């Protein structure tokens, strides 16, 4: 991915969504494009117009943390967008890294799989930044049984969301999940723009899905830390589950996701039923050594 183009598109898209009134500025003259003008952002950030123009053209090399913080305030960035801006700035620094590279395949340590298997009554899985599910416990595989029914490994949630026609049925709030999935990938791209596996995944999805292309072009980013997902499961119906993300400190780039139901709710009953079904179903084993 072209870092300069990423910076240009991100800054212009954030500038376009803010009106002068929202920024506390008086509006004057006709506007050919929505949002703030470059000179208005420069005033809000406390930098010269030529300097901001240089930044928006994709040259963040040498920009200090104080300048980036001022830009984040001027553009009213949330925490995930601010983090993305700093990631893009780091990516813009001179480097000797190859323009595109593949990382070593991520593996889930046996100890992590043992931890997953010890989590009874809670669907759980380990994912990487590309939204591959690399390991799961029995209930996690049961909850995402439709994903595991596909032959491709590792299971990838964003590929399923956009390329499998069953996804809109399985995820009750498909539109939100689709947007969030793309925003998570966009954040990952900012942190590691030279990752060949990620760019291949983005290219595959952009080629095959208009819905993905539209969301990718929006340049939205977000943290994927917690939230509620509505499922339509073929066995247990429509549980509403709260997910929480935990970083695995010993395994950079890998995170643990857990799903829980409100105590005493129909969703909790659904999870109990799912556990009974999973115990008797011929579920695919998720071995820590069978990962890619």
* Arithmetic mean of pLDDT, 46-72: 94
Q: Is 101 exposed, middle or buried (0-12, 13-18, 19+ CB in 10 A)?
A: exposed
| Interhelix angle 79-91/174-191, nearest 10 degrees | 30
Yes or no: is domain 3-91 CATH 1.10.10.10?
Answer: no
pLDDT greater than 70 at residue 290: no
Fold of the domain spanning 110-280? Beta-Lactamase (3.30.450)
Domain locations in the chain as residue ranges: 3-91, 110-280
Label residue 287 by pLDDT band (50, 70, 90). Answer: very low
Label residue 95 by pLDDT band (50, 70, 90). Answer: low
Label residue 101 by pLDDT band (50, 70, 90). Answer: low
Label residue 97 by pLDDT band (50, 70, 90). Answer: low
For tokens 């539209």, what's the residue?
214
CA distance 73 to 199: 30
The angle formed by the CA atoms of residues 111, 117 and 120, to the nearest 5 degrees, is 140
Answer yes or no: are the C-beta atoms of 57 and 5 closer than 8 Å: no
Measure CA of the first residue to CA of the last residue in the chain; give whole Å: 23
Residues 107-129 pLDDT 10s: 899 999 999 999 999 999 999 99
Q: Does the fold of domain 110-280 match that of domain 3-91?
A: no
CA distance 84 to 278: 39
Label residue 7 by pLDDT band (50, 70, 90). Answer: very high
């Amino acid at each position: 991915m072209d870092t300069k183009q990423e910076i240009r598109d991100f800054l212009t898209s954030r500038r376009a969504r803010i009106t002068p009134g929202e920024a506390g500025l008086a509006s004057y003259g006709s506007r050919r494009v929505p949002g703030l003008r470059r000179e208005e952002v420069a005033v809000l950030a406390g930098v010269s117009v030529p300097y901001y123009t240089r930044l928006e053209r994709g040259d963040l090399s040498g920009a200090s943390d104080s300048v980036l913080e001022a830009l984040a305030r001027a553009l009213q960035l949330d925490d995930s967008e601010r983090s993305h801006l700093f990631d893009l700035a780091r990516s813009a620094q001179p480097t000797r890294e190859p323009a595109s590279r593949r990382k070593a395949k991520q593996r889930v340590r046996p100890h992590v799989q043992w931890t997953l298997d010890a989590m009874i009554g809670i669907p759980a899985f380990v994912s990487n930044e590309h939204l591959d599910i690399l390991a799961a416990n029995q209930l996690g595989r049961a909850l995402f049984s439709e994903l595991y029914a596909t032959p491709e490994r590792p299971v990838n949630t964003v590929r399923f969301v956009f390329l499998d026609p069953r996804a809109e049925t399985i995820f009750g709030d498909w539109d939100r999940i689709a947007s969030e999935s793309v925003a998570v990938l966009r954040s990952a791209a900012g942190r590691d723009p030279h990752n060949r596996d990620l760019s291949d995944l983005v290219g595959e999805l952009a080629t095959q899905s208009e819905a993905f292309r539209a969301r990718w072009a929006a340049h939205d980013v977000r943290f994927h830390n917690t939230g509620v997902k509505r499922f339509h499961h073929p066995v247990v119906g429509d549980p509403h589950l709260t997910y929480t993300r935990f970083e695995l400190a010993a395994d950079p780039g890998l995170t643990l996701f857990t799903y829980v139901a409100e105590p005493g709710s129909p969703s909790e009953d659904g999870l109990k039923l799912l556990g009974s079904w999973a115990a008797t179903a011929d579920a695919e084993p998720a071995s820590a050594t069978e990962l890619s």
